[in-house]
Chains A and B, each alone.
Chain A
Amino acid sequence: MNWIGRSLPRLEDPSLLRGGGSYVADRIGKAAAVRFVRSPLARGTIAAIEIPPCATVFTGRDLSDVKPIRPILHRPDYVPIGQPVLPVDRVTFCGQAVAVVVAEGPALAEDIADQVFVDIDATDAIVDLDAAVAPGAVPVHPEAPSNVLVEGGIKTGGLDNVFAEAAEIVTLELRSHRQSAAPMEGRAGLAEYDAASGRVTLTASVQMPHMLRTGIADTLGIPESDLRVIAPDVGGGFGQKMSLFPEYIVLVWLARKLKRSVAWIEDRRENFTASAHGRDQAFSLRGAFSKDGRLLGLEADLRSNVGAYSCYPVTCGVEPLMALAELPGPYDLAEYGVRSRGVTTNTCMMAPYRGVSRPMLTFSMERLMEVAARRLGIDPVDIRRRNLISTFPHRSPTGLVYDEGSYQQAMEAAVNAINLPAFRARQAALRKRGRHLGVGLSVFSERTGYGTPAYAARGMEIVPGYEIVDCTMDPSGNVVLRIGSSPHGQGLKTSLAQLVSDELGIEPQRIRIVSGDTDTTPYGWGTFASRSMVIAGGASKLAAGQVAGKLKTIAAHLMEAGPDDITLENGFARVSNSNRAMEIGALARAAYHQSHKFKGLSPGLHESAVYDPGGTFSNACHVAIVEVDIETGGVKVERFLVVEDAGVLINPMIVDGQIAGGVAQGIANALFEEMIYDESGNLLTASFADYLPPTSAEIPEIEITHMETVSPESVTKAKGVGEGGAIGAPAAVVNAIVDALSPFGIELFELPATPQRIREQLRKAGVSVHG
C-alpha cells in the first residue's frame, strides 16, 4: 500500500482537539513567575534603575558575566553588533528588556515590575529606514557610523549597455511596511533547575531547539551538556521563533542563580514590541525593456530596516542578502546591478518572517512587469510569457541554479482556470454600474530545502542546512524516528510517517516521531525556510531505507531468497513470485534476538542518515480577483486561485493547508497588517485592536491546483511549500486593485494597500471621495 500521496488525517490532531496539547504555559507548574521590565523609550542612556525593597529583581549589572548575543557573518561589509542580554548603559528600542523580576505568580511579578523605575535620559530615536541612511544621520550604534550593518552588491558587465539601448526604462519606488508574524502563542520559556545534576532544562516555544542550546551555552559560558532544550507543542512560529532572544538566556541564568524553576509567558504587547518584526523594506528599481517587452536589465537599490540588533543565528543579513540574491525571481534576466543594505534603527529587531524578502521582491517584480506591459502596450500575461524562465537548469545572474519547474505552464493553467475573457466582460458590465473589479497575477519562484552550501555562500559563521535522522525499529516491528527538525504545526510528523511507511511496509500509526528535545534527538537545525519535508524528509527516507535494507537481508536469509526478491508491504516481507512471507515484526525480533544468525550484520535495527541537499525551487502562479469600494477604499478579495508546483505531494491535504495559510498571511500583508511606530519610536500598534490579522470574513476560499515537476535535487521528490502562499499573494492582490482602478490611472507601490492609501491615490486622481 502506498501512503505517499494520501490525505491522511494528521496523527498530531486527536490530543490537540481534546485540549490535550502541551504548550509551554501548560507545563509551568509551581515555577516562579518571571516578568521583564521594558524600556518605555526607544533611545537613551540609563541613568538609574530603582528597585522596590524586598523584591527579587536583576539588572544588566547582575548579568555582567553573560556575553552579548553577537551573530557573525564573514563578510567585509558586515558590522557585528553585540546585543546585551540586559543593557547596562543605554537602551536601543522601545520594549527592550532592562530588568527582570522573579515572584510567586505572574500577577505579583507584574505588580513588582510596575514599581521598578527606569530612569532614562532620552535622546532622539532613529526610526525611519531612509532617515537612518540619510547624510548626517546619528548612528544607532557607535560601531556602525553609517547605520548600515550589512551591504552587498553585484553588477554584470553588460548592464550599462542594455540601459543605453533599452526601448523603455521603468523606474519604480516600492515600499513594504513592517509586519509581525504574530503567532497565536507568543514566546514562552520554562527553565527548570535539577539540583542533583546542576543541569537546566529550558522548555521554550521555539523553532530551533538545538541552536538555542548552542546560543545560550555560548553566552553563559557553559558546556552544552549542562543544558537541555525542549520545544513542546508550539503555537505557531512563522520564523519569529527561530531566533535566540535575550529573555531565554536570562531564564537559564535565573534558574542557575536561584537554583529553582522559573517561567516567563510573554503577553501580546511584549510579542508585538519586543519579539521580532519583518518586511520593513524600500526598493528602488529600474528595469530596461526591449520594445517587445523583454526585460534586458535590472538595476536595484534595496534597503531593509533590520531594527536595533542582528538576529541570531541567521543575522540581519537574512532580508537584504535574500533580496539581493533572489530579486530576479522567475524571470530570465541577463544583466543585473544591485546594491542591498541592512540598516539599523531604534526599532524592534528584524528576524525571518515567512517568505523573507520574497513577498516584497515578488511584489516589486510583478509591479514592474505590469507597469512595463502598460507602457509598452503589451498584455500583462504576454509580457510574462516572454520573460519567464523555461529551460533548466537555469542559472541566475547571481549564480543561483534553478532546477526544473513549471513557470510557464503554471501561469497558463491559472489564466485558463480564471477564464480571463469572461472576467473582462463581467468587469466591463459592472463598471457601468459603478462597481470596480480587478484581476491580478503573480508568478514566482520559491527556493526551498537548501542545505549548507546556500548558507555558507552568505558567509554565515554558523552554517545551517543538513538534517540528521535516527531510525530505530524495535523488536515488535514499530519504529521511532528521531529528528533534529522541530515542527510546530506543519503536520510534519504525519508526513514523515507516511514517507517512512512506504519504505518499511508498515502503517503510519506504527511510527512515532520524536522531535524538539536536545537530549533525545540528533543535532539539527529545526523547522524554517520551507525545508523540513525536503531535508528532514530526505534524511528520514534514507535512514528508513537503510533499516529496510537490513530487514530484507534478514528476510532473505530466513526465507532462503535473494534480498532483491524481498518486498516490504502491509506489514509483511514477501518473496516475489512465491507465497513465502514473514511478518515484519518477526524479522525485527530476529534482528535483535537471533542476531548471531546474520553474519556481517550488526545486531538490531538502528540506522542514522544525513541529508544536505543543494536546494530545489518550487513555483506557483497566484491570481486574485478583488472588488474595490472607491468610496471607502476598502477591498474585498472575491476569488483567489493558486496553481502550485511543489513536486510530489506526500500529504496533499497538509500541502493545501500550508498554501492556504500562507495566502491568508499574504492577503493580510497586501491589505491589513502594518506595524506603525511614531517618530519617537513608540509602537502604536501593540494590540490586536490596532494590528489587524484577517478573520474568516476577509479570507475567501483559496482554490488550489497542483502541477508535479519531479526534481533530482530532492530524494523524496518533494519540494518545499511552507512560504509560497505568503510570497505570491501580496503582488496578486495589489495588481488586482490596480486593475480595478485602471479607469482612474491609479498605481500602487506600497504594502499594505490600506483604505487610507487607496483613497489617497483616488483623491490625487481627482476621483470624488469623501474627506
Chain B
Amino acid sequence: MASKLGVNLTVNGRSHAVSIEPRRSLADVLRDDCGLTGTHLGCEHGVCGACTVLVDGKPVRSCLMFGVQAGGKEIRTVEGLADDDTLHPLQQAFWENHGLQCGFCTPGFLMLAAGALEENPDMSDDEIKDVLSSNLCRCTGYQNIVKAVRIAARELRARSRA
C-alpha cells in the first residue's frame, strides 16, 4: 500500500485536513474522507459527469483528479450550493421544472451549470444546451434540465442587476 500524504482541502468554505494515498481520486476523498456523499460516481472514467464539482470556480470531473492535486484549492460541492434553508436558484428551478428523476446525476448537473453560469452569466439558450451536453442523464431526456438551467440563468441575471 502506498504511503499517505497529508493534504489540506477547502470544501464549501470549510477546511479538511486529510491523510490520503496519492492514488485516491478527489471524488473518493470528498466522499470517504470529507463525508460529502452528494458527489456521485457514475463511470469513473470521466464521461458521465455525475462527479462534477467546482475547483477554483471551474467545473471538474472529480473522478479524474487526484485528491492530492486539490490541496490549497477552493472546492465546492452540491452540499454547498444552497444558502442554508434557501435553495440555490438552480436547485429551485430543477425542483419546479422536474429536472430530476432518480437524482443520481443531479449533483453533477447542478455543479456543471453553477460553474458555467458563474463564468458566463449571459449564456444563450443554445450555449446552455451545449454546456449541459458534457454530462449524462438517463432518466429525464434532458429537456427539463435544459429548461431549468435557462430559467435559473434568468433568475441569477435578474438578481445581479437588482
List residues of chain A with CB under 8 Å of any chain B CB: 7, 9-10, 12-14, 16-21, 23, 25-26, 107-108, 181-186, 233-236, 238, 267-268, 488-491, 653-654, 656-657, 660-665, 687-689, 693, 695-699, 701-702, 725
- In the assembled complex, the Cα of A489 lies from the Cα of B141 at a distance in Å of 13
Known: A25-B41, A183-B138. A18 touches B78 (CB 8 A): yes
Contact indicator A12/B103 (Cβ below 8 Å): yes
Contact residues of B between 16 and 75, Cβ < 8 Å to A: 21, 23-24, 31, 36-45, 47-48, 50
- In the assembled complex, the Cα of A9 lies from the Cα of B94 at a distance in Å of 10
Name 15 A/B residue pairs within 8 A (Cβ), A-sorted: A10-B98, A13-B100, A16-B106, A17-B91, A18-B87, A25-B31, A26-B37, A184-B48, A184-B138, A233-B103, A236-B138, A491-B101, A687-B45, A688-B47, A697-B133
- In the assembled complex, the Cα of A16 lies from the Cα of B23 at a distance in Å of 29
Residue interface bits B1-27, CB-to-A below 8 A is 1, else 0 = 100000000000000000001011000
Within 8 Å by CB of A184, from B42, B81, B110, lies B42
Can you add 19 more A-B contacts, CB < 8 Å, to A21-B106, A489-B102?
A14-B95, A18-B81, A21-B103, A23-B104, A25-B31, A25-B40, A107-B23, A184-B138, A185-B42, A186-B42, A235-B42, A489-B103, A656-B98, A657-B139, A663-B141, A693-B138, A696-B129, A696-B145, A702-B141
Contact indicator B103/A696 (Cβ below 8 Å): no
Contact indicator B137/A184 (Cβ below 8 Å): yes
B105 within 8 A of A: yes
Contact indicator A699/B142 (Cβ below 8 Å): yes
Number of residues of chain B lying within 8 A (CB) of chain A: 55
- A693 nearest CB neighbor, chain B only: B136
B119 within 8 A of A: no
Q: Is the interface of B mostly helix, strand, loop or mixed?
A: loop
- A725 nearest CB neighbor, chain B only: B141
Known: A17-B87, A660-B143. A235 touches B103 (CB 8 A): yes
Contacts of B101 in A (CB 8 A): 236, 489-491, 657, 661
Contact residues of B between 124 and 139, Cβ < 8 Å to A: 129-130, 132-139
Contact indicator B40/A699 (Cβ below 8 Å): no
Contact indicator A238/B43 (Cβ below 8 Å): no
B146 within 8 A of A: yes
- B130 nearest CB neighbor, chain A only: A697
Contacts of B129 in A (CB 8 A): 696-697
Contact indicator A267/B44 (Cβ below 8 Å): yes
- A667 nearest CB neighbor, chain B only: B141
- In the assembled complex, the Cα of A767 lies from the Cα of B158 at a distance in Å of 53
Contact indicator B104/A185 (Cβ below 8 Å): yes
Contact indicator A18/B103 (Cβ below 8 Å): no
- B109 nearest CB neighbor, chain A only: A696
B118 within 8 A of A: no
Contacts of B21 in A (CB 8 A): 107
Within 8 Å by CB of A661, from B41, B140, B146, lies B140
Q: How far is the CB of A254 from chain B (nearest CB, A)?
A: 21
Known: A660-B144, A695-B136. A19 touches B39 (CB 8 A): yes
- B137 nearest CB neighbor, chain A only: A184
Contacts of B81 in A (CB 8 A): 18-19
B107 within 8 A of A: yes
Contact indicator B95/A688 (Cβ below 8 Å): no
Contact indicator B77/A19 (Cβ below 8 Å): yes
